[in-house]
Amino acid sequence: MNPSTEPTEPLVVDDFRTLGLHEGLLQGLDAMGIRKPTPIQAQAIPAAIDGRDLIACAQTGTGKTAAFLLPIIDVIHSFRPRVDGSIRALIVVPTRELALQIDQQMQAIAYYTPITSMPVYGGSDGASFDQQKAALTGGTEVIVATPGKLLSHLNLGYVPTQGLEFLVLDEADRMLDMGFIDDINRIITFLPKERQTLMFSATMAPEIRTLAKQVLHDPVEISIALSKPAEGVAQEAYVIYEAQKSAILEHILRTNEASCIIIFAGKKVEVRNLANHLQKRGFNAKGMHSDLEQSEREQVMLDFRNRKLRILVATNVVSRGIDIDDIDLILNYDVPRDPEDYVHRVGRTARAARKGQAITFVNDKEMREFGNIEKLIGYEVKKMPLPESLGPAPAYRPEERVKKTPNDNRRQGGGGGRSQGSGGRRR
């Protein structure tokens, strides 16, 4: 891949009208209260409208979803004739939650245009499958899909892709982490070679470069604010012993006035145990993990979005698959193994120029890992004193590697415990 070199410094555009978007899109943005493009939108939208392939690297909360939705809707509505019955744009994403949220944003943005969309994802019943099939064969212009379910439909031979104009790979690095590379390559064999491909990723690892070289043609490359939490996030950390986690968590939840909270844990079993523990302690909390039925997952997210649920306990999958702008507090129950995951977790708050708070629990075995996070973001996170009632805390020494004992892998407290090997694998 020989990407064109584009300026990576923020491009300031004061109004979407300067980007030449269709009037129906401007009406939709105005109705949503969105008037000024973010830097990723200001750079990506003109390149996409101009017909260029694109590889964009941007953290969560920077407006990247609209950065590909707006030019897709603008182009297929304003400029190009349609091939009868064919899907015009295909957006491939790693999780069903992200598929639903992108489709919801698509419907809001395109409200004043005739463009239609449909999410296609697994875990649904026969009726939902039939509904997805009807959308795929009945002229829906934009499909937002997870790889596995999309392949199920493609393999049955009825999906019209002959007139496909856009392929979007969103959260490409997460899809690779979750083992979807073979599915993506298989999907591409069903698509026309003459198409425009847009790839969005939060990191630019060598594997992403390899994939981009395979699927993109002479792409424009854009990188915006990589690996830096938003300025509006007040970051704090408690250095503790593992046995103190439950007590400090309850102290924070009872004294913090935040009304919309996400607690991140490393594994789904920890999510389930921690949510149950908090419920027993009287907190309005529920877990989000892959053992739930799809209808249950959607109800949990609906309750959280509508503020009927104060606390959502979740794995890293949700750190990139939730699009709610007014989350007050992020709690990292453990230190993410991958420093980039910290940025994505923290990126769930202080979105859309708002303020937010992020608190991380760092036990005596995780100091080196948290030190790596501080190196990545370029500064030290403020360390908070423990309440005296919880006893003394370990000294923070991120440069030292703590030797593990046989007991270190045992879970302690209300479903806490060290997360081993969670990474971004399929759950």
Domains in the chain: ranges and CATH: 4-224 (3.40.50.300), 233-409 (3.40.50.300)
Q: What pLDDT is recorded for position 422?
A: 35
Say how many CA atoms lie within 13 Å of 215 toward its Cβ. 27
Q: What pLDDT is recorded for position 204?
A: 77
Return averaged pLDDT per consecutive 10 residues of the chain, 427 residues in all.
44 75 90 87 93 87 88 87 83 91 92 93 78 90 95 95 95 87 95 95 82 93 72 90 94 94 89 94 90 79 90 76 74 88 77 77 93 90 93 89 45 38 34
- Of 373, 356, 344, 362, the closest CA to residue 261 belongs to 356
Contact 90, 191 (CB under 8 A): yes
Strands 166-169 and 89-92: parallel
Q: What pLDDT is recorded for position 325?
A: 62
CA distance 166 to 383: 46
**Prediction pTM value:** 0.67
User: What is the side-by-side strand order in the sheet with 196-201?
Assistant: 4-5, 220-224, 54-58, 196-201, 166-169, 89-92, 142-145, 117-120
Contact 19, 26 (CB under 8 A): no
Q: What pLDDT is recorded for position 350?
A: 56
Q: ∠ at Cα 225 (220, 228), nearest 5°?
A: 150
Q: What pLDDT is recorded for position 15?
A: 82
Q: What pLDDT is recorded for position 227?
A: 55
Sign of CA dihedral 368, 370, 372, 378: negative
Q: What pLDDT is recorded for position 80?
A: 65
Three-state DSSP at 201 gives strand
Q: What pLDDT is recorded for position 178?
A: 82
CB atoms within 10 A of CB 267: 21
CA distance 44 to 28: 19
Q: What pLDDT is recorded for position 351?
A: 57
Q: What pLDDT is recorded for position 419?
A: 35
What stretches of 161-294 adopt beta strand conformation (E)?
166-169, 196-201, 220-224, 233-240, 261-264, 285-288
